[in-house]
């Protein structure tokens, strides 16, 4: 009798989880162009690009890797929420759509948040230990952000001069 009750409630719970997996409160985040280049228009050294791609792109680009557990509610909602927030804050796939001043600001935030260990979030690195950013990688990302800010600022000022502003 008890096993039948457990099986019934277990089946109902599984059916509810599967059914609720088709509900996407943050929109359909999986239906995006996954092949767009990250940081299009910027100069990103290969070592830095690899760090950003492996350790940041899951939440901050359209190249999100969706593991099996992200297909079933409530896991799908938790992950979609994090990806939605990440893409809203900064989407590497849409870098080329940003104005120069927005890119400069984003580079400042990237460097500061990586150095202060705000990014990647602890909850993410606990679930994905290989996504932790080493001190050496932090230094490389921060140095690149500094150089890229200068390059964008100089190009922007040069463009203003050409346009007579």
Q: What is the pLDDT of residues 100-143, one digit of tens each?
A: 999 999 999 999 999 898 888 887 777 778 888 999 999 999 99
The pLDDT value recorded for residue 23 is 56
In a domain, 104, yes or no: yes
Asked whether residue 72 carries a pLDDT value surpassing 70, the answer given is no
The pLDDT value recorded for residue 100 is 94
The pLDDT value recorded for residue 34 is 66
Average pLDDT over the chain reads 83
Say which residue, 24 or 73, is predicted with more confidence: 73
Return the number of other C-beta atoms located less than 10 Å from residue 97's C-beta. Answer: 10
Torsion of CA 39, 40, 46, 52, to 10 degrees: 20
In a domain, 149, yes or no: yes
In a domain, 1, yes or no: no
Which tokens hold the place of 90?
A: 């900064």
Beta-carbon contacts of residue 125 (< 8 Å; ≥ 6 apart): 131, 132
Say which residue, 19 or 123, is predicted with more confidence: 123
Beta-carbon contacts of residue 137 (< 8 Å; ≥ 6 apart): 51, 55
Residue range 85-97: mean pLDDT, rounded: 93
In a domain, 38, yes or no: yes
Q: Which domain holds residue 148?
A: 25-163
- Residue 3, classified by CB atoms within 10 Å of its CB into exposed (0-12), middle (13-18) or buried (19+), is exposed
How many structural domains is the chain composed of? Answer: 1
Cα 132–Cα 137–Cα 138 angle in degrees, nearest 5: 85
In a domain, 148, yes or no: yes
Return the number of other C-beta atoms located less than 10 Å from residue 162's C-beta. Answer: 8
């Amino acid at each position: 009798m008890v096993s039948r009750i457990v099986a019934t409630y277990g089946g109902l719970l599984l059916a509810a989880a599967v059914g609720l997996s088709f509900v996407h409160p943050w929109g359909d985040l999986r239906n995006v162009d996954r092949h767009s280049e990250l940081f299009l228009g910027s100069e990103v050294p290969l070592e830095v690009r690899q760090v950003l791609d492996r350790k940041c792109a899951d939440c901050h680009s359209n190249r999100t890797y969706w593991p099996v557990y992200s297909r079933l509610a409530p896991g799908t909602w938790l992950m979609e929420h994090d990806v939605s927030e990440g893409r809203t804050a900064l989407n590497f796939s849409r870098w080329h759509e940003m104005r120069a001043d927005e890119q400069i600001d984003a580079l400042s935030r990237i460097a500061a948040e990586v150095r202060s260990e705000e990014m990647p979030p602890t909850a993410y690195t606990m679930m994905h230990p290989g996504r932790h950013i080493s001190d050496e990688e932090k230094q490389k990302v921060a140095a690149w952000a500094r150089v890229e800010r200068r390059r964008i600022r100089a190009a922007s000022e040069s463009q203003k001069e050409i346009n007579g502003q």
